[in-house]
Structure 1
Amino acid sequence: MELENLLDPRLIIVTGKGGVGKSTVAASLALAAAGTGRRTCLVEVEGRQTFSRLFSTQTWDFSEREFRPGLWGLSVDADASLREYLEMFYGARRLSRIVTNSSAVEFATTAAPGIKDVLLIGKVKEVERRRDPDGRFHYDLIVLDAPPTGRIVNFLRAPDATTELVNIGPIRDQAQSVIDMLLDPQRTNVHLVTLLEEMPVQETIDSARALDEVGVTLGPVVVNRVLSPRFDDTTRKAFEGLDVAATQRVVAKADVELTDQGAEALLRIGTLHLHRLELQERMRGILSRRLRLPLLELPYLWDEHFGADELAHLAEVVEESL
């Protein structure tokens, strides 16, 4: 897949090592999709209310709500998914309330841990397949903020494990329909989010291999928080030849007086920036060689507070890459 086809699948699953900004990336992709005219639903399944805070909206729940033009939000939980499942397949509204109120989900997930994930992904599948009265799909794109890479393989393998446990009936049919969605490259792509640092890059490479074994299609890797070079080659060479006294002479030309301590601090900051850029370039090369997937790079934003305006900026970067 090339970057211009980034938003073509019906379901985009976003995952990454904890701390790399996968939820931020998921929100940015969803905003970009809505900005291109796609009717989009952004889904969370971990109950962390990350998006309600990022977008400064009311608490998200099992009811889809439009919180930006063309962009809906949904928070999926296993209890509500089980209740909806029982009502949909058995017409048992009263039973569904009794079951969910009696901690049946907790019991089921203890007996068969993958059941909870099947319920969560099953709801995502229902949203992905839903059609309007005119026959068109209700949403053009669903963006799923999935569990982190440490759990994503088990999360995506849960439906397959369920079909091995249950041979017949609606539960097996539901699990199989989820498998069909996940393994169809026209319907589903998985995007790994990483940073240009050693540990996140290695975990991304390992996760890509594991996800290949699951059979899902990997889309472009999203590289988050990429520093922009502050020096061109000429400036870099000049900087590398500076000492404290030379630094003081340079800034004095701008009518700025620096103490020895201030000059040393400025040199340290510049040196750290250069080292970080060198690390980024090395990690970028490793990612490109080992994964052979397109890279979508999002800039490091220096804003003290990260919110809707910053997300909108990242969404613009995504749109420009298409």
Structure 2
Amino acid sequence: MDGDNQSRVTEFFLLGLSGQSEQEDVLFGLFLWMYLVTITGNSLIVLAISCDRHLHTPMYFFLANLSCVDICFSSVTVPKMLANHVLESKSISYAGCMAQIYFFITFINMDGFLLSVMAYDRHVAVCRPLHYSMIMRPKLCVLLVAVSWVITNLHALLHTLLMVRLTFCSSNVVRHFFCDPYPVLKLSCSDTSVNDLVVFTVGGLIFLTPFTCIAVSYAYIFSDVLRLPSARGIRKALSTCGSHLTVVSLFYGAILGVYMRPSSSYSMQDTVATVIFTVVTPLVNPFIYSLRNQDMKGAIRKLILRI
């Protein structure tokens, strides 16, 4: 084995969110609580929708898929951080780091695609209610989700393969609690211009396409709602979109400022924003959708009583 191969790193060290042991203990307890609540809340959403036939509709089908993705999204990053704290180790293998990058990109983009599909579903429900059942057929719903999975996995594979071709020499300390693509890119001693270019072109297209679909869908929704004759009709139409709009605002508000810039400008403020959409958003999604939805609250109540 030559000298260049000997200098390449075989593992990374995750610095975490704080370098002080007292703060790390507090963060461990906080992240453990948030992870358990995330898994419990999203699992209840999936089980409630599966067990209640009244919720076997396109809207709740997409919501169940979103909850499954949120469970996976949180499980990609948080358990490794918690395990490292318990084992008093900050290391992650090179293969484990690349796997985290792949699944992180897959699930973050899948969240965006599902939010886009849900926005289209709300658009059809509000703007074309008489044709809703004819347009949102079960086959179309399954096809939309399946195509989203294919696109997001191919996109994640592209970024991961581009990351694998890079060389990481002496520096292997990732200033984050997981292998976020941007902090890892900053450690490479290779030219990362191709990676940055792909992020701005392919990544921007994959990320902004769902965002554009959401914006267009709500433009049509608000246009139709403003033409409704009664205030009650307006409130009813907006109530079907309120939960979704809240989740969209929280998700995209944190993520747009982080990944639409060069990797060299990544900072600690971006780390905080990353925590919002990787940990906080999956945590609050079940509460947003259940507390504002009488059908979901009733289904969850029945499920808990049955258990």
In the superposition, the TM-score normalised over structure 1's length comes to: 0.23
Which fold has the larger relative contact order, with Cα–Cα distance below 8 Å and residues 6 or more apart in sequence?
Answer: 2
Q: Which structure is higher in helix share?
A: 2
Q: Which structure is higher in strand share?
A: 1
Larger radius of gyration: 1
In the superposition, the TM-score normalised over structure 2's length comes to: 0.24
